[in-house]
Amino acid sequence: MNGARLEDVIARVWGYTSLRPLQREAMEAVVGGRDSVLVLPTGGGKSLCFQAPALVRPGLAVVVSPLISLMKDQVDTLTGNGVAAGLFNSSLTGAEKNAVVAGLREGRYRLLYVSPERLVGEGGEGFLSLLASCGVSFVAVDEAHCISQWGHDFRPEYRQLARLRHFLPGVSLHAFTATATAQVRRDIATQLGLREPLELVGAFDRPNLLYRVLPRAVLKRQILDVLARHRREAGIVYCTSRREVDALAAWLSSEGIPARPYHAGLTDSERSAHQQAFLSEHIDVIVATVAFGMGIDRSNVRFVVHAGAPRSVEHYQQEAGRAGRDGLEAECLLIYSSADFMRWRVMLESSGELSDASRTLLQQMERYAAGVGCRHRHLAEYFGDRYETTGCGACDYCLGELEPADTPVTLARQILSCVARVGQRFGATHVASVLRGHASDQVVSWGHERRSTFGLLPRASVAELRGYIQQLLGLGLLRMTDDAYSALALTPKGLTLLRDEHSCPGLTLARQRAPRRDAPRAVSRAEAASWDGVDRDLFERLREVRLGEARQRGVPPYVIFHDATLREMARVRPTTLDALLSVKGVGARKASDLGEAFLAVIRTHTT
């Protein structure tokens, strides 16, 4: 009975006719009042799992979220769909707060979004008591990994959410996150005091993302190439320092690409103005520091470029994951150099954060960057998922963009032999210098310019050699020593290859290279499928209509309709209200409020 009602509500309000993986299970837990933890990747559709049950269960649903801008988007979207939703956070004026409190007393809302500070900070108890008197049906804790020190974004105020249980006894608690490690999940359950929670963990892979990695060459050229692939589309460029952010944003603007900087060194009002410009499609490119990107979620981000490597694969996944949240194709490009990792080591050391754990995380990041193999597989397996697909069709490796070395066995043996000749006591930089025949001070001071492997690979660049070394580490032919020096050493498998060149059949090593400018642009399967049958001109016209409607209403365009919905309109080309209602993402309220504006354009375009 509840199931049928849920489906009804979802079709009518959101215009979705099918559910994504785990959505049904997650919603049944919420409707049935069983504590739960749902882990789905970004864009997996977590919000629906608490929003739809809120309309089915009697009473008020409370959503705790740390992201004030996302909160506003969600409330605007819900309101646009005809759902009575409100929010309560530090961005409200006194009068607005009073209005919300009055609304709560009158039972006006089905959903209330609150920031954790409002529940646990000063006056938190009063607010919790107020909620307790409002007949709360359940509490959804979004971004629940913030409660765990093992997550990538620990927020101490989340710890105090344990009080929810005390103030709202008998109310079920449901945690939502995109961070999947088992440790974080356990932490969430313990900290929130969940009772025998149902744990639902989705597949981690994001098939709509196209992953690429390039060694840093001429960075500006490399960035312009990406931008050329994504004209008029939204993107984020991540840099490691504020200075770099400011410089790149200014340079892009001078190149005629309006871009704004975003980092912790800006004032609150500057930051919020830049964020607003990005969300409302006044500008399409934002340049941000890796440490500071939580507020810039726009669902139709089509590319994320890292102009330097982040400090862990977890960070990379999180940041790159801001692309393609609407499920449509998007490109994630990592531009890195080995210097990035040294810079992180120095930075972590000076802030006292360099530990064995952080060193390992950095090494794993470098392994991803230098890896030859399917990137989707690498990421999925890194996060403990099995990955069954061969040839993902959405990464530089599977698209054939890496350049395989002609004689990989010889190359591997040259590198292994150099590691052995320097006594297995040096890192990748030193080994690369020796192989290239670069008589650096360190090389000379150890007398390594006299070793037979000195200058064995004079034409290879440092980046290339470091890349091969990472690949050999990944293949288990080399290892890092456990001592403080993190030197390269041979594994038994590596020793065997030195003795017997046939011991490693099928060995491949590869070089990353920029796609040739004149080469046709590689298109992932996800991209091809999402454009299949879409009238692109019509899609652009519909975007303009959406922008107009959004400006009129003062909301970001994707709050009106997602890109996926516009593309389907441009594929199906409905000319009647009924036909429009069958487009995924068009609910009853939006059809009646906005339908005519979009239909009019479709009709004139089609005739």
Closest to ligand ADP by CB, 23 vs 337, is: 23
Closest to Zn ion by CB, 309 vs 392, is: 392
- Compute CA 556 distance to the chain's CA centroid, rounded to the nearest angstrom: 20
Pairing of strands 403-404, 510-511: antiparallel
Closest to ligand ADP by CB, 43 vs 474, is: 43
Is residue 207 close enough to count as binding ligand ADP by CB under 6 A? no
* Near Zn ion by CB under 5 A: residue from 61, 374, 463, 475: 374
* Near ligand ADP by CB under 6 A: residue from 36, 39, 47, 54: 47
Residues in 379-398 at the binding interface with Zn ion, rule: CB under 5 A:
392, 395, 398
Is residue 317 close enough to count as binding ligand ADP by CB under 6 A? no
Total residues binding Zn ion (CB under 5 A): 5
Is residue 44 close enough to count as binding ligand ADP by CB under 6 A? yes
Is residue 42 close enough to count as binding ligand ADP by CB under 6 A? yes
Q: How far is the CB of 501 from ligand ADP (least distance, A)?
A: 49
Q: How far is the CB of 206 from Zn ion (least distance, A)?
A: 12
* Strand (E) or helix (H) holding 581: helix 577-581
Q: How far apart are CA 158 and CA 274, in angstroms?
A: 27
Piece of 181-189, 238-246, 320-328, 417-425 that binds ligand ADP (CB under 6 A): 320-328
16 binds, among Zn ion, ligand ADP, none (CB under 5 to 8 A by kind): ligand ADP
Reduced to 3 states (helix: H, G, I; strand: E, B; else coil), residue 584 is coil
Piece of 90-98, 286-294, 373-381, 408-416 that binds Zn ion (CB under 5 A): 373-381
Reduced to 3 states (helix: H, G, I; strand: E, B; else coil), residue 309 is coil
Is residue 53 close enough to count as binding ligand ADP by CB under 6 A? no
Total residues binding ligand ADP (CB under 6 A): 19
- Compute CA 35 distance to the chain's CA centroid, rounded to the nearest angstrom: 26
Q: How far apart are CA 59 and CA 348, in angstroms?
A: 48
* Strand (E) or helix (H) holding 555: none
Q: How far apart are CA 387 and CA 6, in angstroms?
A: 32
Reduced to 3 states (helix: H, G, I; strand: E, B; else coil), residue 400 is coil
Q: How far is the CB of 43 from ligand ADP (least distance, A)?
A: 5
Q: Report residue 161 as tokens.
A: 């959410």
Is residue 46 close enough to count as binding ligand ADP by CB under 6 A? yes
Q: How far is the CB of 61 from ligand ADP (least distance, A)?
A: 15
Number of helical (H) and strand (E) elements in the chain, helices listed first? 28, 17
Piece of 39-47, 375-383, 477-485, 514-522 that binds ligand ADP (CB under 6 A): 39-47
Closest to ligand ADP by CB, 233 vs 246, is: 233
* Near ligand ADP by CB under 6 A: residue from 584, 597, 601, 605: 584
Which of 116, 84, 239, 68 lies closest to 248, judged by CA? 239
**541-570 mask for ligand ADP (x: CB under 6 A)?**
---------------------x--------
Closest to ligand ADP by CB, 23 vs 433, is: 23
Q: How far is the CB of 195 from Zn ion (least distance, A)?
A: 41
Closest to ligand ADP by CB, 143 vs 401, is: 143
Q: How far apart are CA 435 and CA 465, in angstroms?
A: 8
Q: What contacts 590, CB < 8 A, 6 or more positions away?
A: 15, 80, 81, 560, 561
Q: Report residue 119 as tokens.
A: 């529940």
Q: How far is the CB of 70 from ligand ADP (least distance, A)?
A: 9
What is the side-by-side order of every strand in the sheet holding 285-289? 209-215, 330-336, 301-306, 234-239, 285-289, 259-262
Piece of 11-19, 180-188, 385-393, 434-442 that binds ligand ADP (CB under 6 A): 11-19
Q: How far apart are CA 33 and CA 45, in angstroms?
A: 20
Which of 218, 209, 211, 184 lies closest to 199, judged by CA? 184
374 binds, among Zn ion, ligand ADP, none (CB under 5 to 8 A by kind): Zn ion
Asked if residue 542 lies in contact with residue 450, where contact means CB atoms within 8 angstroms, the answer is no
421 binds, among ligand ADP, Zn ion, none (CB under 5 to 8 A by kind): none
Q: What contacts 487, CB < 8 A, 6 or more positions away?
A: 424, 425, 426, 427, 480, 481
* Near ligand ADP by CB under 6 A: residue from 326, 401, 464, 527: 326
Is residue 136 close enough to count as binding Zn ion by CB under 5 A? no
392 binds, among ligand ADP, Zn ion, none (CB under 5 to 8 A by kind): Zn ion
Per the rule left: phi > 0, alpha: psi between -120 and 50, beta: everything else, 532 is beta
* Near ligand ADP by CB under 6 A: residue from 212, 315, 325, 466: 325
Which of 272, 228, 246, 217 lies closest to 69, judged by CA? 272
- Residue 202: DSSP 8-state: -
Residues in 269-308 at the binding interface with ligand ADP, rule: CB under 6 A:
299
* Strand (E) or helix (H) holding 494: helix 492-499
Q: Which residues bind ligand ADP (CB under 6 A)?
A: 16, 18-20, 23, 40, 42-48, 299, 325-327, 562, 584
Query: Under the rule (CB under 5 A), what is the footprint of Zn ion?
Result: 374, 376, 392, 395, 398
